[in-house]
Structure 1
Amino acid sequence: MNRILIIAPNWIGDAVMSQPLLATLKTIYPHCQIDVLASPWVAPIYRACAEVSQVIEAKLEHKQLQWGLRKLLAKQVEANQYQACFVLPNSLKSALIPWLANIPVRIGYRGEMRFGLINTALDNPSKINRPPMADHYLALSNALEHLQETNASKPASPKLNVSPVAKQSVSTKLEEACINQKSIYVLCPGAEYGATKRWPTEHFANLADQLISNEPDAHVILLGSKGDHALAVSIQAQTQKSTQIHNWCGNTSLDEAIALIGMSKVLISNDSGLMHIGAALKVSQVAIFGSSDPHHTPPLSDKAKVIWLNLPCSPCHKRECPLGHLKCLKDISPETILRNIQALY
């Protein structure tokens, strides 16, 4: 096997969870070139994967067919003469490009009536007995292992590398903001999925104040996308230590966010893509879960502490609390998170 293409998922956390698959493929085929077709949103994750030779960025929009663009991309892909392609999303659209590009072996899970587009298909696990996402993607490697009668040891958890360019860029920003690089706490208040994954802003504000009260030289950086900027503004407005609490939401590239998380003393986040990045960088972290299931999407790191109340109503996997109280998150106190942070030292 000389060249393999990966069709990337569209969520940052899922992209991180796919890295063990890449590492396993590289173990099976150490001389193989692994390329990834990804949206600009998740492309930085794959640039941080040591196994990836080339990231092909494609501005494919969610819920849009974009037939003309897919045909153009298929021509580009076909010229690279890949022997196999792993299609990680379950959608029909995601399977079109490798099919149009005539890649001989197209591997993925069955889904969305894509019979023929995927010619080496695995059954999707039931929603009741879903494995962790890293294992879900990793299982796809069995298709090639069986075809090649090859057996390989599998990595235990995702691993990302920090770009030296991004690290230098972040270091410059920290110096300009007079932030002590030796004691940075990164708080990630956002979660793209919705409110049922977001710990309340007043709790984040309380925690930020306590961290700085306990460690006067510390700085707290609020990190996230442009969509999280308002959450960070709300947190700053509720704090008493605002001069040491910095809103970087929407002001960093994903490459820089990876670098900043790698430099942090502790990462505190909701169940989000940035949580998985922290786990893949092996930084100390506390991950707060509400409506989602930490058995399915845990931070895969021995330096991670998961906080989940496991209420009778959770995990509900709803975007809005169906009972209207959001106790799964509101009842997790800042003091609980602080104790768990201190236990990581």
Structure 2
Amino acid sequence: MSACKYSNILVYALDRALGDTILSTSAIEILKRKFPKAKITLMVRKPYSDLFKTSPILDEVLALDYDHFRSSLSYIIKTARFLRNRQFDLSLSLDHRDRAAILMFLAGIPTRVGAKQMYNGKGILSSFLFTRSITVPYSHDTHVTEFYQGLARNAFNMQADALPFIGKSLPDQLEKALRLFEGIPPNQFLVGLCLCGRSSLKSWPNSFTAELLTKLYKRYHLFFYVVGRQEDLLFADELINQVDFPIINLCGKTDLSELLAIIRISDLLITVDTATMHIAASADVPIVALFGPYSPLKWHPVSDKAAVLWASLPCSPCDASGADCKGEGWCMKALTVTDVFNKTAQQLATIKKLDPRRNSYSEYFSSQPITG
């Protein structure tokens, strides 16, 4: 494919969960290197769009109502007509569902690229609708980003490596994040917590977390906050009720752009296998990541500042089926408080040599002239 042949490219990532969408962006960076002058548009679910709109790699982000899209034939046809009018000349599908190939075909995009099968080995029935259907060699012990990058490399004859990306945080978002923690002493380190997974099998027990935080607070006098979905509010409240020091509960109180800004000013994130983990990795924030029913070989945060714990029981990974443990979550309970404390202490040994991250942002904003 000639680097000057395509000028208007659509990347389809509508059917992916947020963490997977973030990891798939490594393929987009390879695409950008191949076609540096092309306009690249990313199609994602509406709640995810703010996380990518400010990326310098993307020229536009299309936000679709995913629930409506997957349940309404008329909405799919309407979307196809909209895309046809945009006159894309190349599409790259990063999805595993048949809708992607069908939509690109209905949109009349002349060159349509996608995989014959996804990283789980499952074939894509409608892949015959792609004009270029790519076979990507892949192992279950290989990280998911290697699949996406392999798709881009094989499709566009590139020998390149790339990292996942997200957008930048805007100044007003960072200022708002700083105001949440403005009462914290400037020498106190800020640690985020995201220990409730979308599946209960991915969550770490609250009693373990309370014991860990108590030990960390006594040793390092850290300031903690909890992030998560609206559904995680009760989980976080139960945790907070088990300790006798302040923790801010932000579950369900931030959109993704606000969450990103909060993570950017944080010194460390202690997390289970969640999309928040991948946001922190792309924001270059140190991480302690706890894995259980899913393999970190496949899903670990792509960052040299991430420390991963995994018990690797005989029944793990089970991809959150809980078949052997009957939903008891043996693999997460096998991660002891001592294990997580020691791994966190290792991360803090490096972090505490530095000034708390939020101070550099505070100094920047305080140095800006007052206008208006």
TM-score by length of 2: 0.83
Deviates more, 1:88-97 or 1:308-317: 88-97
- Is 1:333 the counterpart of 2:339? The answer is no
Cα displacement (A) at 1:331:
2.1
Cα displacement (A) at 1:13:
0.8
Secondary structure at the counterpart of residue 125 of structure 2:
coil
Identify the residue that residue 249 of structure 1 maps to in structure 2: 251
* Number of residue pairs aligned between Structure 1 and Structure 2: 333
Out of 142, 147, 171, the residue aligned to residue 131 of structure 1 is 142
CA pair 204-50 structure 1, distance change in 2 beyond 3 A: farther
Identify the residue that residue 299 of structure 1 maps to in structure 2: 301
Superimposed CA distance per residue, residues 177-218 of structure 1 (whole angstroms, 9 cap, x where no aligned partner): x345752100002222x12211111112222222222233x3
Identify the residue that residue 77 of structure 1 maps to in structure 2: 83
CA pair 6-342 structure 1, distance change in 2 beyond 3 A: same
Give the aligned residue type for 1:333.
T
Give the aligned residue type for 2:303.
S
CA pair 274-59 structure 1, distance change in 2 beyond 3 A: same
Cα displacement (A) at 1:152:
4.8
- Is 1:211 the counterpart of 2:216? The answer is yes
Matches within 5 A, 1:124-273: 129=140, 131-146=142-157, 151-155=158-162, 157-164=163-170, 165-175=172-182, 178-180=183-185, 183-192=189-198, 194-216=199-221, 218-241=222-245, 244-273=246-275
CA pair 48-16 structure 1, distance change in 2 beyond 3 A: farther
Secondary structure at the counterpart of residue 233 of structure 1:
helix
Identify the residue that residue 106 of structure 1 maps to in structure 2: 112
Distance, in Å, in 1 between the alignment partners of 2:147 and 2:247 is 38
Distance, in Å, in 2 between the alignment partners of 1:117 and 1:100 is 10
Distance, in Å, in 1 between the alignment partners of 2:191 and 2:9 is 39
Distance, in Å, in 2 between the alignment partners of 1:162 and 1:219 is 25
Distance, in Å, in 2 between the alignment partners of 1:301 and 1:68 is 42
Out of 10, 22, 27, the residue aligned to residue 16 of structure 2 is 10
Q: Which runs of 5+ in 1 are unaligned?
A: none
Deviates more, 1:68-77 or 1:44-53: 44-53
CA pair 130-88 structure 1, distance change in 2 beyond 3 A: farther
The percentage of counterpart residues that share the same residue type is 24
Runs of 4+ aligned structure 1 residues displaced above 6 Å come to none
Q: Which runs of 5+ in 2 are unaligned?
A: 1-5, 117-122, 351-372
Distance, in Å, in 1 between the alignment partners of 2:234 and 2:51 is 25
Identify the residue that residue 120 of structure 1 maps to in structure 2: 132
Give the aligned residue type for 1:135.
E
Distance, in Å, in 2 between the alignment partners of 1:94 and 1:287 is 32
